[in-house]
Amino acid sequence: MIDLSIHQSAELTSHHMIDLSIHQSAYLTSHHMIELSIHQSAELTSHHMIELSIHQSAELTSHHMIELSIHQSAELTSHHMIDLSIHQSAELTSHHMIDLSIHQCAELTRHHMIDLSIHQCIHRTAFSQDQDSSV
């Protein structure tokens, strides 16, 4: 069982503040299935609120490779537009290594630009026993 939680905040020009929080959990079943769920919310100062939730599942191939790509856009009140794109890949090596990389950028109309990138990697050593017992 893997539990990943990320909190990132980015300050916009002037005094606009965006808070993005992501929680994702991934677990491998006996059939080599990964379930990733992400929930992120971004709150802008004043009364602008964005709620984004994503659930994605992907089956591992024979080479234990996962490629997940998401594009989501949410329109803010007034004429502000946010575009969030996320690409994450998870590769399981023979040593039970997971590599998740996420890159998301949010562009606000006019001249507000946000660029957020996250790279995280997790060693899954304890999980090797579960896979051995399922075979």
**Residue length of the chain:** 135
- Distance (Å, whole) CA 80 – CA 100: 30
**8 Å CB contact between 82 and 74:** yes
Which of 49, 92, 39, 45 is closest to 67 using CA atoms? 92
From first to last of the 135 residues of the chain, give the pLDDT tens digit: 344 444 444 444 444 444 444 444 444 444 444 444 444 444 444 434 444 433 344 444 444 444 444 434 444 444 444 444 444 444 444 444 444 444 344 444 433 444 433 334 444 433 444 444 444
Task: For residue 12, count CB atoms less than 10 angstroms from its CB and return exposed for 0-12, middle for 13-18, buried for 19 or more.
Answer: middle
Give residue 4's pLDDT: 40
Structure tokens, 63: 């080479």
- Kindly report whether the global pTM for this prediction surpasses the value 0.85: no
User: Which helix (DSSP H) or strand (DSSP E) does residue 31 occupy?
Assistant: none
Give residue limits of the domains in the chain.
Answer: 2-7+18-134
Q: What is the pLDDT of residue 79?
A: 40
Residues 6 or more apart from 62 whose CB is under 8 A from it?
none
What is the predicted pLDDT for the residue at 123?
Answer: 40
